[in-house]
Structure 1
Amino acid sequence: MRQKDVYPAGRLDHDSEGLLLLTDDGALAHRLTDPKHKQPKTYLVQVDGALSDEAMQTLRRGVVLNDGPTLPTIAVHAQEPSWLWPRDPPVRFRKSIPTSWLSITLHEGRNRQVRRMTAAVGFPTLRLIRVRIGDYTLDGLAPGDTRVLSR
């Protein structure tokens, strides 16, 4: 019997972490990744510095990048997650410079968009973890773990 083909529904950059959906349902993969469907993608982001309210407002309104303005986002201050796994290699640590966490939800998916947005408001991304794509979440999965879903 022939095994069905499995496709990734989206991708993660080499230095990003978190949820990666693999599916044998081409229509689902298309619905989750095609920009016309505007599926929300939520990320937990650790940035370099104490994130200002002004920067958060700019992220919410949308940021002008070199390839044009982004759509407005949902951006909120967040706490470092208690369930967070160690990162290898570790995020750089500088005693004199604080870091901040935020949750950001996009409805578009440009190349390295979250990293470019936080850098544009003066707070470079140190760690980026995708926790949700549409209705699918990372909830409770450790690195390398899988969860099989059915219709």
Structure 2
Amino acid sequence: MQEVDAAVVLQQVVLLFSTQSILNNIEIIEEHDSEVLRIYCDENQIKQVFINILQNAVDAMPNGGIIKTQILCHDSEFIKFRFIDQGSGISAERIKSIGEPFYSSKEKGTGLGLMVSNKIVHEHGGSIHIESTVNEGTTVDVILPIYSSLLKRD
């Protein structure tokens, strides 16, 4: 675990996805609050979470579209990483099962990506929230503690 720049971590993952997004006719737009915050995390684990979310977004948009990534101040102690896609969306019934092991709507999916992502985020003192509308898209929020708020707790 180490202190890292939240924006840099997300930018590195978006860069990793740039080729795949171009091949799938997907544009990734990054929006960040002016104040870039730092988080205390296992950088590789948080990158894995972002990779899982972006991969799900790309898979949900076979005809292309836009994925928007945002970094927002959630409150004085947390930062919100938001991923918004224009994919096929998830029904209310299916959203209840997301994150369960081996539950997947993908032909070759294992259902382990979001389960592992949930575990990683919770181990970092955060949470994941998913909102979706069928045929409109999905918004995934990853909320993590800001580094300075962790210092106050000690």
TM value normalised by structure 1: 0.29
Higher gyration radius (CA) = 1
Which has the larger helix fraction?
Answer: 2
| Structure with bigger RCO (C-alpha 8 Å, 6+ apart) | 1
So what's the TM-score if we normalise by structure 2?
A: 0.29
